[in-house]
Amino acid sequence: EPEVTQTPSHQVTQMGQEVILRCVPISNHLYFYWYRQILGQKVEFLVSFYNNEISEKSEIFDDQFSVERPDGSNFTLKIRSTKLEDSAMYFCASPPAMISTDTQYFGPGTRLTVL
Amino acid sequence: AQKVTQAQTEISVVEKEDVTLDCVYETRDTTYYLFWYKQPPSGELVFLIRRNSFDEQNEISGRYSWNFQKSTSSFNFTITASQVVDSAVYFCALSEGIGANNLFFGTGTRLTVIP
């Protein structure tokens, strides 16, 4: 299975602080996704990113969230001012082919804990 | 609007029993993709299968098999001769249309295989 890596594996932060979650997708891919899973709940789509632009975002992805690909490799999700309800597992996903409808392989996730 | 329903919240079986996990979906698109992912206790999301809406052939992979029926909008997953290592949460997901498509997940079914 193609590998998507994420760092850190676990992030603990204080409410109101900024956090940056990082993802290294499968190389040379154009489509990237972020999903969120609150503990014990289903996986929810946050945002998709294509050709260095947001292509689609959900209602969850409000102004406190942003994504970018600063160095052409890493793909980051920034939460500007964390809230308690942002505590969740955040997954990055990427299809291993140039076709976006191909299978999305998920990274191992970053568990974010907001205190 | 798209929707994925996994009515079974939790299932327990004794090792070596067969078990079927149900998935019912709703979509207005004629082109769509269906997926199953496994989430073991370690938390990662492991891809199991992808099926497109034009291919209703059932698929078998080892102890796993999938039954796709467009007439009932179902994509059920059967594990034959279950093993303890099959214990996990299983998610069914839907992706619509062509282009940068995010996944809509069901709420998952927690499978516990008792030795």
pLDDT in tens, B59-106: 889 999 999 999 999 999 999 999 999 999 999 999 987 655 889 999
Using DSSP's 3-state secondary structure scheme, residue A69 falls into: coil
pLDDT given for residue A1 in this prediction? 64
Identify the pLDDT of residue B2: 79
The pLDDT mean for chain B works out to 93
pLDDT for A58 equals 94
B71: tokens are 């007439």
DSSP assignment, residue B46? E
Confidence tier at A99 by pLDDT (50, 70, 90)? low
- A23 token code pair: 């993802």
User: Which of A42, A56, A108 is closest, CB to CB, to B102?
Assistant: A56
User: What local confidence, expressed as pLDDT, does residue A22 receive?
Assistant: 95
Residue B49's contacts (CB-CB under 8 Å, 6 or more residues apart) are B35, B36, B59, B61, B64, B66, B77
The C-alpha torsion from A90 through A55 and B50 to B43, rounded to 10°, is 0
Rounded to a whole number of angstroms, the distance from the CA of A15 to the nearest CA of chain B is 24
Residues of chain B with Cβ-Cβ distance to A107 below 8 Å are 44
- Cross-chain CB nearest to A91 (options B45, B101, B106): B45
**pLDDT beyond 60 at A27:** yes
Q: What average pLDDT does range A27-44 have in this prediction?
A: 88
Q: Is the pLDDT of residue A97 over 70?
A: no
If one counts every other C-beta atom within 10 angstroms of the C-beta of residue A66, the result is 14
**Nearest CA among A27, A71, A65 for reference residue A45:** A65
- pLDDT higher than threshold 80 for residue A26: no
Distance CA A105, CA A110 (A): 15
In chain B, which residue's Cα lies nearest the Cα of A30?
Answer: B100
Q: What is the mean pLDDT of residues A12-37?
A: 90
